[in-house]
Protein backbone atom coordinates (compact mmCIF):
# COMPACT_ATOMS: atom_id res chain seq x y z
CA UNK A 1 0.00 0.00 0.00
CA UNK A 2 1.64 3.12 -1.22
CA UNK A 3 2.63 6.10 0.85
CA UNK A 4 0.54 8.11 -1.60
CA UNK A 5 -2.64 6.47 -0.23
CA UNK A 6 -1.88 7.93 3.18
CA UNK A 7 -1.02 11.29 1.60
CA UNK A 8 -4.39 11.18 -0.18
CA UNK A 9 -6.24 10.25 3.02
CA UNK A 10 -4.51 13.01 5.02
CA UNK A 11 -5.30 15.59 2.36
CA UNK A 12 -8.99 14.54 2.31
CA UNK A 13 -9.18 14.68 6.12
CA UNK A 14 -7.57 18.14 6.26
CA UNK A 15 -9.99 19.51 3.65
CA UNK A 16 -13.09 17.84 5.08
CA UNK A 17 -15.61 20.11 6.86
CA UNK A 18 -17.40 17.18 8.53
CA UNK A 19 -15.68 13.84 9.08
CA UNK A 20 -17.32 10.87 10.80
CA UNK A 21 -15.51 7.80 12.10
CA UNK A 22 -17.69 4.66 12.12
CA UNK A 23 -16.13 1.90 14.21
CA UNK A 24 -16.72 -1.78 14.86
CA UNK A 25 -15.13 -4.55 16.91
CA UNK A 26 -11.99 -4.51 14.76
CA UNK A 27 -10.78 -1.24 16.28
CA UNK A 28 -10.66 -2.89 19.73
CA UNK A 29 -8.99 -6.19 18.73
CA UNK A 30 -5.54 -4.73 19.46
CA UNK A 31 -6.84 -3.76 22.90
CA UNK A 32 -7.33 -7.48 23.60
CA UNK A 33 -11.06 -7.71 22.87
CA UNK A 34 -11.85 -10.46 20.34
CA UNK A 35 -14.07 -9.62 17.36
CA UNK A 36 -17.49 -11.25 16.96
CA UNK A 37 -16.85 -12.79 13.53
CA UNK A 38 -13.89 -14.22 11.67
CA UNK A 39 -11.14 -16.47 13.00
CA UNK A 40 -11.38 -16.78 16.81
CA UNK A 41 -14.49 -14.61 16.80
CA UNK A 42 -16.83 -14.64 19.78
CA UNK A 43 -19.70 -16.13 17.76
CA UNK A 44 -17.53 -19.10 16.82
CA UNK A 45 -17.42 -20.01 20.53
CA UNK A 46 -20.72 -18.74 21.91
CA UNK A 47 -24.26 -18.81 20.56
CA UNK A 48 -25.49 -15.24 19.85
CA UNK A 49 -28.95 -16.45 20.93
CA UNK A 50 -27.80 -15.97 24.54
CA UNK A 51 -27.82 -12.24 23.77
CA UNK A 52 -31.32 -12.29 22.31
CA UNK A 53 -33.67 -10.25 24.51
CA UNK A 54 -36.36 -12.97 24.74
CA UNK A 55 -33.81 -15.57 25.87
CA UNK A 56 -32.35 -13.13 28.42
CA UNK A 57 -35.78 -12.51 29.98
CA UNK A 58 -36.60 -16.25 30.09
CA UNK A 59 -33.16 -17.46 31.19
CA UNK A 60 -31.47 -14.52 32.96
CA UNK A 61 -28.93 -16.64 34.87
CA UNK A 62 -27.71 -18.56 31.80
CA UNK A 63 -27.62 -15.40 29.71
CA UNK A 64 -25.72 -13.49 32.39
CA UNK A 65 -23.13 -16.30 32.63
CA UNK A 66 -22.32 -15.77 28.94
CA UNK A 67 -22.48 -11.96 29.21
CA UNK A 68 -20.00 -11.94 32.09
CA UNK A 69 -17.56 -14.18 30.21
CA UNK A 70 -17.94 -12.34 26.88
CA UNK A 71 -17.74 -8.79 28.08
CA UNK A 72 -17.06 -8.11 31.71
CA UNK A 73 -14.05 -10.37 32.02
CA UNK A 74 -12.38 -8.62 29.05
CA UNK A 75 -13.49 -5.06 29.56
CA UNK A 76 -11.95 -4.66 32.99
CA UNK A 77 -8.45 -5.12 31.52
CA UNK A 78 -8.69 -3.61 28.03
CA UNK A 79 -7.22 -0.18 27.29
CA UNK A 80 -7.61 2.11 24.26
CA UNK A 81 -5.04 1.43 21.51
CA UNK A 82 -3.34 3.75 19.03
CA UNK A 83 -6.35 3.79 16.72
CA UNK A 84 -8.67 5.10 19.47
CA UNK A 85 -6.06 7.66 20.53
CA UNK A 86 -5.51 9.03 17.00
CA UNK A 87 -9.27 9.56 16.64
CA UNK A 88 -9.18 11.56 19.90
CA UNK A 89 -6.25 13.62 18.60
CA UNK A 90 -8.13 14.28 15.34
CA UNK A 91 -11.22 15.40 17.29
CA UNK A 92 -9.11 17.77 19.41
CA UNK A 93 -7.55 19.21 16.23
CA UNK A 94 -11.02 19.80 14.76
CA UNK A 95 -10.55 17.11 12.13
CA UNK A 96 -13.23 14.72 13.41
CA UNK A 97 -16.85 15.71 14.06
CA UNK A 98 -18.47 12.43 15.13
CA UNK A 99 -17.66 8.91 16.23
CA UNK A 100 -20.49 6.46 15.59
CA UNK A 101 -19.49 3.20 17.23
CA UNK A 102 -21.10 -0.25 17.27
CA UNK A 103 -18.84 -1.16 20.20
CA UNK A 104 -19.98 -1.29 23.84
CA UNK A 105 -16.47 -1.40 25.35
CA UNK A 106 -16.24 2.30 26.31
CA UNK A 107 -12.73 2.54 24.79
CA UNK A 108 -13.49 5.69 22.76
CA UNK A 109 -14.52 7.44 26.00
CA UNK A 110 -11.42 6.13 27.79
CA UNK A 111 -9.28 7.43 24.92
CA UNK A 112 -10.67 10.93 25.60
CA UNK A 113 -13.03 11.32 22.64
CA UNK A 114 -16.24 13.29 23.23
CA UNK A 115 -18.59 13.31 20.23
CA UNK A 116 -19.37 9.61 20.49
CA UNK A 117 -22.69 7.99 19.62
CA UNK A 118 -23.06 4.37 20.70
CA UNK A 119 -25.31 2.54 18.27
CA UNK A 120 -25.46 -0.54 20.52
CA UNK A 121 -25.26 1.17 23.92
CA UNK A 122 -22.54 0.74 26.49
CA UNK A 123 -21.60 -2.06 28.90
CA UNK A 124 -20.53 0.32 31.70
CA UNK A 125 -24.05 0.73 33.04
CA UNK A 126 -26.70 -1.77 34.22
CA UNK A 127 -30.39 -0.93 34.26
CA UNK A 128 -33.09 -2.39 36.54
CA UNK A 129 -35.93 -3.79 34.42
CA UNK A 130 -38.41 -3.12 37.27
CA UNK A 131 -37.64 0.34 38.67
CA UNK A 132 -35.40 1.50 35.76
CA UNK A 133 -32.66 2.78 38.05
CA UNK A 134 -29.16 2.81 36.50
CA UNK A 135 -26.06 1.44 38.24
CA UNK A 136 -22.39 1.73 37.18
CA UNK A 137 -21.13 -1.80 36.57
CA UNK A 138 -18.31 -1.12 39.08
CA UNK A 139 -20.92 -1.10 41.89
CA UNK A 140 -22.38 -4.50 40.99
CA UNK A 141 -21.16 -7.77 42.46
CA UNK A 142 -21.14 -10.35 39.66
CA UNK A 143 -20.30 -13.29 41.90
CA UNK A 144 -24.02 -14.08 42.07
CA UNK A 145 -25.86 -14.14 38.74
CA UNK A 146 -28.18 -12.77 37.65
CA UNK A 147 -27.46 -9.48 39.50
CA UNK A 148 -30.52 -7.87 41.08
CA UNK A 149 -31.40 -4.30 41.97
CA UNK A 150 -30.40 -3.34 45.50
CA UNK A 151 -33.39 -0.97 45.66
CA UNK A 152 -36.26 -3.14 44.45
CA UNK A 153 -34.82 -6.62 43.81
CA UNK A 154 -35.58 -6.41 40.08
CA UNK A 155 -33.45 -8.07 37.38
CA UNK A 156 -30.48 -5.99 36.19
CA UNK A 157 -29.66 -5.89 32.46
CA UNK A 158 -26.53 -4.45 30.84
CA UNK A 159 -27.42 -1.16 29.15
CA UNK A 160 -26.40 -2.39 25.71
CA UNK A 161 -28.67 -3.41 22.84
CA UNK A 162 -29.56 -7.10 22.74
CA UNK A 163 -30.52 -8.83 19.52
CA UNK A 164 -34.23 -8.11 19.04
CA UNK A 165 -34.06 -4.73 20.84
CA UNK A 166 -34.45 -1.31 19.22
CA UNK A 167 -31.47 1.02 18.68
CA UNK A 168 -31.60 3.95 21.16
CA UNK A 169 -33.08 7.06 19.51
CA UNK A 170 -30.17 9.49 20.08
CA UNK A 171 -27.38 7.44 18.47
CA UNK A 172 -29.76 6.40 15.70
CA UNK A 173 -30.73 9.95 14.78
CA UNK A 174 -27.15 11.17 15.18
CA UNK A 175 -25.88 8.39 12.89
CA UNK A 176 -28.42 9.30 10.21
CA UNK A 177 -27.57 12.99 10.58
CA UNK A 178 -23.83 12.22 10.25
CA UNK A 179 -24.48 10.01 7.22
CA UNK A 180 -26.33 12.93 5.68
CA UNK A 181 -23.60 15.53 6.03
CA UNK A 182 -20.18 13.87 6.11
CA UNK A 183 -17.57 14.85 3.51
CA UNK A 184 -15.39 11.96 4.70
CA UNK A 185 -16.67 8.77 6.33
CA UNK A 186 -13.93 6.66 7.94
CA UNK A 187 -15.00 3.02 8.48
CA UNK A 188 -12.74 1.15 10.91
CA UNK A 189 -12.94 -2.58 11.68
CA UNK A 190 -16.42 -3.78 10.84
CA UNK A 191 -17.85 -6.57 8.68
CA UNK A 192 -21.00 -4.63 7.91
CA UNK A 193 -23.07 -7.73 8.74
CA UNK A 194 -25.49 -6.35 11.32
CA UNK A 195 -28.69 -4.45 10.62
CA UNK A 196 -29.56 -1.62 11.01
CA UNK A 197 -26.03 -0.36 11.81
CA UNK A 198 -24.84 -1.55 8.41
CA UNK A 199 -27.21 0.86 6.63
CA UNK A 200 -25.29 3.93 7.81
CA UNK A 201 -22.16 3.78 5.61
CA UNK A 202 -24.11 3.26 2.36
CA UNK A 203 -26.27 6.24 3.31
CA UNK A 204 -23.15 8.37 3.77
CA UNK A 205 -21.95 7.25 0.32
CA UNK A 206 -25.32 8.14 -1.24
CA UNK A 207 -25.03 11.58 0.31
CA UNK A 208 -21.67 12.21 -1.33
CA UNK A 209 -19.18 11.20 1.38
CA UNK A 210 -15.78 9.84 0.41
CA UNK A 211 -15.52 6.42 2.06
CA UNK A 212 -12.18 5.48 3.60
CA UNK A 213 -12.05 1.98 5.07
CA UNK A 214 -9.52 0.38 7.42
CA UNK A 215 -9.75 -3.38 7.86
CA UNK A 216 -7.39 -6.34 8.01
CA UNK A 217 -9.46 -7.91 5.24
CA UNK A 218 -12.18 -6.81 2.81
CA UNK A 219 -15.64 -6.35 4.30
CA UNK A 220 -19.12 -6.16 2.76
CA UNK A 221 -18.42 -2.47 2.11
CA UNK A 222 -15.07 -2.84 0.32
CA UNK A 223 -16.31 -3.89 -3.15
CA UNK A 224 -19.47 -1.77 -2.96
CA UNK A 225 -18.91 1.69 -1.42
CA UNK A 226 -15.27 2.02 -0.35
CA UNK A 227 -13.22 4.64 -2.20
CA UNK A 228 -9.90 4.11 -0.39
CA UNK A 229 -9.20 0.76 1.29
CA UNK A 230 -6.31 0.72 3.77
CA UNK A 231 -5.72 -2.99 4.40
CA UNK A 232 -4.07 -3.50 7.77
CA UNK A 233 -4.46 -3.33 11.52
CA UNK A 234 -6.37 -0.32 12.81
CA UNK A 235 -3.56 0.89 15.09
CA UNK A 236 -0.95 0.67 12.30
CA UNK A 237 -3.11 2.36 9.67
CA UNK A 238 -4.23 5.10 12.05
CA UNK A 239 -0.60 5.55 13.15
CA UNK A 240 0.39 6.24 9.53
CA UNK A 241 -2.51 8.66 9.07
CA UNK A 242 -1.46 10.42 12.27
CA UNK A 243 2.09 10.89 10.92
CA UNK A 244 0.72 12.52 7.76
CA UNK A 245 -1.69 14.73 9.69
CA UNK A 246 0.48 15.87 12.58
CA UNK A 247 4.17 15.44 11.76
CA UNK A 248 4.97 18.27 9.30
CA UNK A 249 8.62 17.21 9.26
CA UNK A 250 7.57 13.98 7.56
CA UNK A 251 5.36 15.76 5.07
CA UNK A 252 7.06 17.07 1.97
CA UNK A 253 4.14 19.44 1.26
N1 LIG B 1 -7.77 -3.90 12.69
C2 LIG B 1 -8.78 -3.58 11.83
N3 LIG B 1 -9.82 -4.42 11.56
C4 LIG B 1 -9.81 -5.61 12.18
C5 LIG B 1 -8.80 -6.02 13.08
C6 LIG B 1 -7.74 -5.10 13.33
N7 LIG B 1 -6.72 -5.38 14.15
N8 LIG B 1 -9.09 -7.28 13.53
C9 LIG B 1 -10.24 -7.63 12.94
N10 LIG B 1 -10.67 -6.65 12.12
C11 LIG B 1 -11.91 -6.61 11.32
C12 LIG B 1 -12.37 -7.93 10.78
O13 LIG B 1 -11.79 -8.19 9.50
C14 LIG B 1 -13.89 -7.70 10.66
O15 LIG B 1 -14.22 -7.09 9.41
O16 LIG B 1 -12.93 -6.17 12.20
C17 LIG B 1 -14.18 -6.70 11.78
C18 LIG B 1 -14.87 -7.33 12.99
O19 LIG B 1 -16.13 -7.73 12.54
P20 LIG B 1 -17.24 -8.19 13.60
O21 LIG B 1 -16.63 -9.04 14.63
O22 LIG B 1 -18.43 -8.67 12.82
O23 LIG B 1 -17.60 -6.83 14.35
P24 LIG B 1 -18.67 -5.74 13.95
O25 LIG B 1 -18.73 -5.55 12.47
O26 LIG B 1 -18.40 -4.55 14.78
O27 LIG B 1 -20.04 -6.41 14.46
C28 LIG B 1 -21.19 -5.61 14.45
O29 LIG B 1 -22.38 -7.41 15.52
O30 LIG B 1 -22.57 -9.03 17.15
C31 LIG B 1 -22.94 -7.75 16.81
O32 LIG B 1 -23.51 -6.03 18.29
C33 LIG B 1 -22.41 -6.75 17.79
O34 LIG B 1 -21.62 -4.49 17.39
C35 LIG B 1 -21.52 -5.83 16.95
C36 LIG B 1 -22.09 -6.03 15.57
User: Is 123 near ligand 1, meaning CB less than 6 Å away?
Assistant: no
Distance of CA 144 to the CA centre of its chain: 29
Q: Is 190 helix (H, G, I), strand (E, B) or coil?
A: coil
**What's the order of all strands across the beta sheet hosting 156-160?**
134-136, 121-128, 156-160
Numbered ranges of CATH 3.30.1600.10 in the chain: 34-77+121-160
On whether the 34-77+121-160 domain is CATH 3.30.1600.10, my answer is yes
Among candidate residues 84, 120, 132, 144, the one labeled active-site is 120
Q: Which of 25, 101, 200 to mutate to test the pocket of ligand 1 (most atoms within 8 A of CB)?
A: 25
Strands 19-23 and 184-188, sheet pairing: parallel
C-alpha separations of 168 from 146, 177, 210 in Å: 24, 14, 27
Nearest CA to ligand 1 atom 36: 194
- What's the CA-to-centroid distance between 150 and ligand 1, angstroms? 35
Per-residue confidence (pLDDT) for residue 252, from 0 to 100: 53
pTM exceeding 0.85: yes
Per-residue confidence (pLDDT) for residue 250, from 0 to 100: 55
Per-residue confidence (pLDDT) for residue 40, from 0 to 100: 86
- What's the CA-to-centroid distance between 148 and ligand 1, angstroms? 31
Decide if 170 contacts 117 (C-beta within 8 A): yes
**Which CATH code for domain 1-32+80-120+167-253?**
3.40.50.1220
Numbered ranges of CATH 3.40.50.1220 in the chain: 1-32+80-120+167-253
Per-residue confidence (pLDDT) for residue 76, from 0 to 100: 78
C-alpha separations of 234 from 25, 28, 129 in Å: 11, 9, 37
Distance of CA 30 to the CA centre of its chain: 13
Strands 184-188 and 156-160, sheet pairing: unpaired
In the predicted model, residues of the chain with pLDDT beneath 50 are: 253
Per-residue confidence (pLDDT) for residue 215, from 0 to 100: 98
Per-residue confidence (pLDDT) for residue 68, from 0 to 100: 94
User: Is 161 near ligand 1, meaning CB less than 6 Å away?
Assistant: no
Widest pairwise Cα distance in the chain:
64
120 catalytically annotated: yes
User: Is 121 near ligand 1, meaning CB less than 6 Å away?
Assistant: no
Backbone phi, psi, residue 207, to 5°: -90, 15
Amino acid sequence: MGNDQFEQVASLLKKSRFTTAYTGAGISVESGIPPFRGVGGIWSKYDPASLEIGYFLDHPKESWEVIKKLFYNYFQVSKPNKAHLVLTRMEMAGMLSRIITQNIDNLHQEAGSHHIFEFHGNSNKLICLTCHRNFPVSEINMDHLPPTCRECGGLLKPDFVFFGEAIPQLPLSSAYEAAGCSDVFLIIGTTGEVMPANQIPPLAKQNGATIIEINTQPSNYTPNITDIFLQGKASEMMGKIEEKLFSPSLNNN
